[in-house]
């Protein structure tokens, strides 16, 4: 009998211990639930703040770009489509003096906030120069030196073009950028090949200038590789040949029609979100 009583006492003690453990576990679960809810709310607030800051940054980034009217008397259309909230693509255009215009397109490696930060540095470096008195090769060399120690692992490809509308000549320099395209009214195509290496890697800051003449009504097309390297589901690239074909097909259309057609064809070729930032400048030169 004594042994049976002891067993029951032990069982009762174990039941009490178990009840206490369950109570502690329930309290811990409730506390954990509260902590998870608190942390979830904290994450939500931080995400809202990030979204707000990104929206603000995107607006500020766009405000840094000159309006197309600054390139009068040329007729210009720009397509600028970041693949995320902010872009690693940059462009500029404007007047460098009497009868002189300039156009710039740059593409920072990567995309998103880190690339956009380097892009802002490049834009500020460009703003410190006087396009009217600085040769294209010098513009890229200055930019190369300005961002070399700030760009980290990022680098830049860019093309800078000066146009003399009176003499119908242009000078350009390209640091490893995809070739700009010139299409004459007669349909002749000329590629503006690179004149130097990529920018911001500390290898070389020598960018040659090239000068050429163009007939009235020539169309200039500058873009970033987010256009030609856009892939379809089969992993085929949009490519330069397809781009040139569309430019020839739309030669008689206004620049704003051309950028619209290119956007539509790009979406039709590879549906879904962009895989890289995209910038296209279509310019009808006087």
pLDDT by residue, tens only, the chain of 286 residues: 555 455 545 655 656 666 776 777 777 777 777 776 777 767 677 676 666 656 666 666 676 788 898 999 999 999 999 887 777 889 999 987 778 999 999 998 877 777 777 777 788 788 888 877 789 999 999 888 877 766 567 888 999 999 999 999 999 999 999 999 999 998 899 999 999 999 887 666 789 999 999 999 999 999 999 999 999 989 999 999 999 999 999 999 999 999 999 999 999 998 877 788 899 999 999 9
Beta-strand pair 100-108/89-97: antiparallel
Tokens of 226: 């987010």
Provide the pLDDT for residue 204. Answer: 66
Provide the pLDDT for residue 93. Answer: 94
Q: Is 174 helix (H, G, I), strand (E, B) or coil?
A: strand
Provide the pLDDT for residue 4. Answer: 47
Q: Which residues contact 202 (CB under 8 A, 6 or more apart)?
A: 148
- Give pTM, 2 decimals: 0.81
Rg value, the chain, Cα: 29
Phi-psi group of 110: left, alpha or beta (phi > 0 → left; psi -120 to 50 → alpha; rest → beta): left
Sign of CA dihedral 170, 66, 259, 154: positive
Helices 113-127 & 2-63 angle (0-180, nearest 10):
20
Q: How far apart are alpha carbons 176 and 158 in whole angstroms?
A: 7
Provide the pLDDT for residue 11. Answer: 53
For the chain, the maximum distance between any two Cα atoms, rounded to a whole number of angstroms, is: 120
The answer to whether the peptide bond before residue 110 is cis (omega within 30 degrees of 0) is no
């Amino acid at each position: 009998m004594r042994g049976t009583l002891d067993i029951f006492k032990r069982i009762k003690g174990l039941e009490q211990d178990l009840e206490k453990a369950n109570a502690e576990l329930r309290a811990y679960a409730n506390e954990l639930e509260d902590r998870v809810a608190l942390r979830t709310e904290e994450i939500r607030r931080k995400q809202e703040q990030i979204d707000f800051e990104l929206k603000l940054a995107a607006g500020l980034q766009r405000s840094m770009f000159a309006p197309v009217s600054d390139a009068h008397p040329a007729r210009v259309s720009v397509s600028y489509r970041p693949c995320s909230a902010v872009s690693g693509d940059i462009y500029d255009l404007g007047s460098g003096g009497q009868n002189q215009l300039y156009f710039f397109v740059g593409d920072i490696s990567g995309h998103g906030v880190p690339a956009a930060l380097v892009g802002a540095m490049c834009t500020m470096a460009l703003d410190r120069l006087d396009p009217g008195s600085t040769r294209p090769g010098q513009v890229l060399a200055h930019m190369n030196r300005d961002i070399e120690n700030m760009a980290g692992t990022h680098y830049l490809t860019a093309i800078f073009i000066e146009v003399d509308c009176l003499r119908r000549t242009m000078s350009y320099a390209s640091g490893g950028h995809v070739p700009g395209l010139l299409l004459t009214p007669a349909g002749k195509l000329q590629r503006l090949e690179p004149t130097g290496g990529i920018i911001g890697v500390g290898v070389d800051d020598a960018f040659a200038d090239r000068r050429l003449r163009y007939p009235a009504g020539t169309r200039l097309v500058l873009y970033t590789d987010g256009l030609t390297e856009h892939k379809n589901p089969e992993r085929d690239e949009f490519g330069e040949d397809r781009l040139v074909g569309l430019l020839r097909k739309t030669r008689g259309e206004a620049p704003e029609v051309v950028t619209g057609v290119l956007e539509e064809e790009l979406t039709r070729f590879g549906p879904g979100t962009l895989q890289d930032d995209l910038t296209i400048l279509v310019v009808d030169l006087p």
